[in-house]
Amino acid sequence: MTYLAASVSELTGGNMWVCGALCRTRAPAQLGQRLLPESRRRRPASASFSASAEPSRVRALVYGHHGDPAKVVELKNLELAAVGGSDVHVKMLAAPINPSDINMIQGNYGLLPQLPAVGGNEGVGQVVAVGSGVTGVKPGDWVIPANPGLGTWRTEAVFGEEELITVPSDIPLQSAATLGVNPCTAYRMLVDFERLRPGDSIIQNASNSGVGQAVIQIAAARGLRTINVLRDRPDLQKLTDRLKNLGANHVVTEEELRKPEMKSFFKDVPQPRLALNCVGGKSSTELLRHLAPGGTMVTYGGMAKQPVIASVSQLIFKDLKLRGFWLSQWKKDHSPVQGADPHTLRSHPPRPTHGPRLLRGPAAGLPVCPRSIHAALRVFKADSHHVT
């Protein structure tokens, strides 16, 4: 695996990876394809560290100002802080690179870090050592960030215990490294906007993206039918087969979606009540055109960099609803109220969880989308396929 990539303009479905490459590379990094989202939370200067331990150095991908990732991100040696009483020393095992990371480095994302910053907001690491006051994790555990902004593009780091969530180590490494963002986004969109029942249909574009693949798997586990829209491409059949192996019911191209024949398609397939839009522009217009009356389109990305356009007739006569979703905002909105019961949410609570909680330690119950992670883990454990 490598963090070297072809072109920022080629951002699409899966993930590039920085695991391993940091240990092998000696030259400054040149980034391009895929990098992952949010701002880096800096540890306060007053944080307590053990003065007796000698500092060691780690390799990290760092940027000191916003701009083209290929020009502003550098591979640097950083000092690893000693482990204090409430700290956890983590060795990173895998860290993905998503489009939102690119946006963050460019400076046009919804959350921006204090500079200089280590890139990467998602990944999985293994606990090496813990401070004397740590009770929720132990050496050997796999952990992921509880919130965005940790800076996962490094070989090792020392984090506060409250910044981490333990996850089972018996799922694929890449699934664990991508568990905190895409599957959670997919799950929340499937349960928060429409009351869907087994047999109901949903439609989505960018179906081969990380979120799209998670939607397919989680929807299949919930008995929902998915209509998955792709751009036409030379390897279309290969990609179609792969998505159907994940659980996709129907795969169509953007061009097919615009054809009159789709009317007969929906005579056999229920019109979708939920549309998930990651593209915008004409693609989102087509999703709206096929939504059932009263349905909802949720926009969570804009890869086409074009506005979402809805006709007046769709809004008036079909009563379609247009919504947006951003996981970072969802976490803020569902954070425990200061001074209140930690399990009390600020706004409407999610539906009850079925089955045991998989999260342990102080991060469990905080704004980390635990039920979404639980749902994704159930899919990954029940199926040999996983989001890559």
The one-character DSSP state at 306 is B
Q: In 3-state terms, what secondary structure has residue 339?
A: coil
**Radius of gyration for the alpha carbons in the chain, expressed in angstroms and rounded:** 21
Band of pLDDT at residue 54, cut at 50, 70 and 90? very low
pLDDT at 362: 30
CA distances from 35 to 126, 260, 383 (A): 21, 38, 27
High-pLDDT (> 70) share of the chain, %: 72
pLDDT value of position 19: 61
**pLDDT tens, residue by residue, 161-192:** 999 999 999 889 988 999 988 999 999 999 99
In 10 A of CB 303, how many CB atoms?
Answer: 17
- The tens digit of pLDDT for each residue in 268-327 reads 899 999 999 999 999 999 999 999 999 999 999 988 889 999 999 999 999 999 999 999
What span, in angstroms and rounded, lies between the C-alpha atoms of 96 and 124? Answer: 9
The one catalytic residue among 3, 63, 109, 187: 109
More confident residue, 362 or 117: 117
End-to-end CA, the chain: 13
**pLDDT grade, residue 249 (50/70/90)?**
very high
pLDDT score at 386: 43
Confidence of residue 261 (pLDDT cuts 50, 70, 90): confident
260 falls in which pLDDT band (50, 70, 90)? confident
Q: How far is Cα 245 from Cα 145, in angstroms, rounded to an integer?
A: 30
Selection from 7-11, 55-59, 308-312, 329-333 with the highest mean pLDDT: 308-312
Share of residues in the chain with pLDDT > 90 (%): 56
Beta-bridge partners for 202: 226, 274
Q: Is the predicted pLDDT of residue 372 greater than 50, yes or no?
A: yes
pLDDT in tens, 341-358: 333 323 333 333 332 223
pLDDT at 373: 67
CA angle 241, 14, 238 (to 5 degrees): 20
Instruction: Enter the tokens of residue 341.
Output: 């019961």
Query: Catalytic annotation on 300?
Result: no
Residue 220, pLDDT > 90, answer: yes
Nearest to 327 by CA among 291, 305, 301, 352: 301
Q: For residues 47 and 162, what is the distance between their CA atoms, to the nearest angstrom?
A: 13
